[in-house]
Amino acid sequence: MGWVTAPRLRIAPSPTGYFHIGTARTALFNWLYARQRGGTFVLRVEDTDRARNRDEHIAGIEAALRWLGLDWDEGPYFQSQRGPLYAEAIEKLLAGGSAYACACSPEDVQARARAAGNKTPGYDGHCRDLALAPTHGRVVRLRTPDEGESAYDDLVYGQVSKPFANVQDLAIRKSNGDPLFLLANVVDDSDMAISHVVRGSDHMDNTHSYLLLWNALGYGPAPVFAHLPLINNDAGKKLSKRRDKVAIEDYRDAGYLPEAVRNYLALLGWAPGDDREIVTVEEMMAGFRLEDVKRSPAIFDERKMQSVNSEYLRGLSSEVFVERTQKWLEERWAPIAPLVQQRARTLSEALAMADFLFLPEVPLDSAQWQKEVARQPAFGAILDGAIERYPEVEWTAEALQAATVAVGEKAGVPQLGKAQAPVRLAVTGRSVGPPLFESLAVLGLDRTLERLRAARDRLGR
Ligand code: GLU
Ligand code: ZN
C-alpha cells in the first residue's frame, strides 16, 4: 500500500461549466471514505485543457461541493499552475525510453487505422522506434508493451485485466507542449500522496496506462483503485448532458435540499443494506464501504430523487421550512430585484416580472409567441445562432448583448430590439419584462440554453 496511516483521497474535476451528477457521486464516496477514517480529502482541479479553464467554472466547482456539504481539507490545487512538475516527468520518461515523440497528425492516425480496417481507431505505434526529437509540434506518447497482460485489483470490480496488445500508446503531451490528462493525473496522485483513487468506471481503461506511467516514473507502491459504476438514466442509457439534466446546479436551482440530493447520490451504487431510501449522513458515515459498491450501472431517476426530497421537506419543522424557502428565494431575487424595481407598480407585479427565474418551466404566453413567430421570419435562425454562440461568450450582460447583435446580423436582423425578441420569448415566455441581458446573466448559461433549445423544438424545422 502507498499509505501507512490515514488515507488520502481526492476529487479531481475538470472545469466543464457545470458540476455533473456523476462527479458529485464520486466526490461523496471519496469524502465519506476519508471522513470515516480520519483521512484527508483533497480538491484538485484538472484544468490542463486551457480552453475550458475559466474562473467562473472553478468557482462553480467549489460552490457545488460546498452546497452538498462536502468540505475538503486541501486545495484547490490547479493543474494549470503545476506545469514544471509535468514537464519534468515527461523529460524523465523520454530519457528512460518509456515515452517517445510522435510526428503523426490526428488525420494520419485515423487514415492508417481506417486503411487497416480497425473498428476502434487508435494509434498503431508508427513512430515508436523512429527516435524523433520531442520538438514543438510533436506529441509525446507512452510506450506500452506488446506482450503480456496488464492487471490490477479493484475494490469494486475485483481483478481487472487487459492484454497489453490492446492498450494503445496514449499521448501524454500535446503537440503544443501542454501535458495531457493521463500524465498530470498520475504525477499529481503521486505528488499529493493519494492512497485511494476512487473514480468513475469510465476511467477503468485508463488505469492500465496509469500504472505503466506510475511504474515508469518509479513512484513505488501504487494507490488502491475503486471504480464506481456508470450512471444511466431511467431508460437505461448512459447519462448525457444533451439528453438528461446532469448538472447539480440545475437541482439546486429547482429547489432541492442539498441533504436530500446527497442522500440520493449515496444510493447511486451503494445501499445501506436494506431497501431504505432515507439515509442520514451519520448512517452513511457508519455504514459506507467501498467494497459494497455495486458493479452494475446505477439508475438516476429524477422522480425517485423528488420523492426523497419531499420526504426531507416533510421532515422539516414549519419554521425551518419557511427559513429554507425564504433563503432559496432571496438568493435568486437579490440580483434581479433592482432590474424590476423601476418598472413595477406593485410588489406583486415586481414578482410577476421575474417569475421566469423561479419557475421550473417557462411561463409561456402563447398569444405573444404566435404573434412573434408570425412576424419574425428569422425567429428560428436567431434561436439557432444564440444556441451556437452563447456557450462561447463570457456570461455577462455586455458580452451577451454583443453576441446577440452578432447573431441578429447573421440572421439578417440588424436591429437589436428585433433580434432579441425571439430570445426573450424563449427564455422568459413573454415579450416584455426586465432588461433581457441582465436577466440572462442571472439565469445562467445552462438554463438559458435549455430554454432556447426547448423553444427551437417547439418551433419545429
Ligand atoms: N478529471 C478527471 C474526470 O473528471 C478525473 C479522473 C480521476 O478522478 O482520476 O473525470
Ligand atoms: Zn506517430
Rounded to whole angstroms, how far apart are CA atoms 13 and 19?
Answer: 8
The pLDDT score that the predictor gives to residue 2 is 46
The pLDDT score that the predictor gives to residue 350 is 93
What are the φ and ψ backbone dihedral angles of 247, each rounded to 5 degrees? -90, 125
Pick the atom of ligand 1 nearest to 26's CA: 8
Q: Is 223 in the pocket of ligand 1 (CB under 6 A)?
A: no
The pLDDT score that the predictor gives to residue 54 is 67
Q: Is 201 in the pocket of ligand 1 (CB under 6 A)?
A: no
Q: What is the pLDDT along the chain (461 residues), one digit of tens a residue?
A: 444 589 999 999 999 888 999 999 999 999 999 999 999 999 999 998 776 556 777 888 999 999 999 999 999 999 999 999 999 999 999 999 999 999 999 999 989 888 887 766 689 999 999 999 999 999 999 999 999 999 999 999 999 999 999 999 999 999 999 999 999 999 999 999 999 999 999 999 999 999 999 999 999 999 999 999 999 999 999 998 878 889 999 899 889 999 999 999 999 999 998 889 999 999 999 999 999 999 999 999 999 999 999 999 999 999 999 999 999 999 889 988 998 998 899 999 999 999 998 887 888 899 999 999 999 999 999 999 999 999 889 889 999 999 999 999 999 999 999 999 999 999 999 998 899 999 999 888 888 998 999 999 999 86
pTM recorded for the entire structure = 0.87
The pLDDT score that the predictor gives to residue 461 is 63
The pLDDT score that the predictor gives to residue 42 is 98
Distance 83 CA to ligand 2 centre (A): 24
Rounded to whole angstroms, how far apart are CA atoms 411 and 381?
Answer: 6
Closest residue to atom 3 of ligand 1, CA basis: 13
Pick the atom of ligand 1 nearest to 198's CA: 8
Q: What is the CATH number of domain 355-459?
A: 1.10.10.350
Q: Is 169 in the pocket of ligand 1 (CB under 6 A)?
A: no
Rounded to whole angstroms, how far apart are CA atoms 313 and 325?
Answer: 10
447 burial type by CB count under 10 A (0-12 exposed, 13-18 middle, 19+ buried): buried
For residue 77, the SS3 value is: strand
ω before 76 within 30° of 0 (cis)? Answer: yes
Residue 20 DSSP one-character state: B
Residues sharing a CB contact under 8 Å with residue 321, sequence separation 6 or more, in sequence order = 313
What are the φ and ψ backbone dihedral angles of 146, each rounded to 5 degrees? -95, -25
The residue whose CB lies within 8 Å of the most ligand 1 atoms, and thus the one to mutate among 185, 187, 201, 239, is: 185
Sign of the four-CA dihedral 333, 447, 254, 265:
negative
Q: How far is CA 262 from CA 1, 24, 30, 331, 334, in A?
A: 30, 8, 13, 21, 27
C-beta of residue 382 within 8 angstroms of C-beta of residue 419: yes
Q: How far is CA 159 from CA 18, 30, 154, 164, in A?
A: 33, 21, 6, 15
Q: How far is CA 50 from CA 79, 102, 140, 330, 415, in A?
A: 10, 22, 18, 35, 35
Distance 10 CA to ligand 1 centre (A): 10
Cβ density class 195-228: b for 16+ within 10 Å, e for less: bbbbbbbebbbbbbbbbbbbebbebeebbbbbbb
Domain spans of the chain? 8-81+231-311, 83-228, 355-459
Q: Is 185 in the pocket of ligand 1 (CB under 6 A)?
A: yes
In the block, which residue shows the cell 409567441? 369
Rounded to whole angstroms, how far apart are CA atoms 433 and 449?
Answer: 19
The pLDDT score that the predictor gives to residue 250 is 87
Pick the atom of ligand 1 nearest to 13's CA: 4
For residue 195, the SS3 value is: coil
Q: Is 46 in the pocket of ligand 1 (CB under 6 A)?
A: yes
Pick the atom of ligand 1 nearest to 11's CA: 8
* Catalytic residue numbers, as ranges: 241
Q: How far is CA 450 from CA 8, 24, 393, in A?
A: 38, 21, 16
Residue 52 DSSP one-character state: G
Q: How far is CA 8 from the centre of its chain?
A: 23
Q: Is 203 in the pocket of ligand 1 (CB under 6 A)?
A: yes
Question: What is the 3 state secondary structure string of 231-294?
Answer: EECCCCCECCCCCCCCEHHHHHHCCCCHHHHHHHHHCCCCCCCCCCCCCCHHHHHHHCCHHHCC
Rounded to whole angstroms, how far apart are CA atoms 429 and 5?
Answer: 58
Ligand nearest to the CA of 42: 1
Neighbours of ion ligand 2 (CB under 5 A): 102, 104, 126-127
On the question of a common fold for 8-81+231-311 and 355-459, the answer reads no
Q: Which CATH architecture has domain 83-228?
A: 3-Layer(aba) Sandwich (3.40)
Q: Which CATH architecture has domain 8-81+231-311?
A: 3-Layer(aba) Sandwich (3.40)
